[in-house]
Amino acid sequence: MGLLDTLSRFWPHLASGFHVLAALLASIHALLHKRDSRSATLWLVTIWFLPVLGPILYLALGINRNSLVSSGSKWRGKERVHLNFIPC
């Protein structure tokens, strides 16, 4: 048996394992970082009932990137001020 035969037999298990791992990580993140319980519940439903697409949607749309930038290090804040400064 070759590698292709083995993969063709086990790909459903690999795909479901990937979905469970991605959904678990996204669910933990949603539960820890969402302030509104309704928002967290809706994201959990989306993550678990849309295989593979749910965690990708949460990664793309569910994480508030503005708060990540504003709560970043002081260096980032200075960099933003420096980029907004236009010499005359």
**Both structure tokens of 81:** 């001020």
**How many residues are listed for the chain in this entry?**
88
Identify the CA nearest to 58 among candidates 37, 35, 39, 78.
39
pTM (whole model) above 0.75:
no
In tens, the pLDDT along 16-56 reads 999 999 999 999 999 999 989 999 999 999 999 998 899 99
Task: Give the residue extent of every domain in the chain.
Answer: 3-63
As a whole number, mean pLDDT of residues 76-86 equals 50
Kindly state the percentage of the chain with pLDDT values over 90.
44
DSSP 72: S
pLDDT at site 82: 47
Banded model confidence at residue 88, pLDDT cuts 50, 70, 90:
low
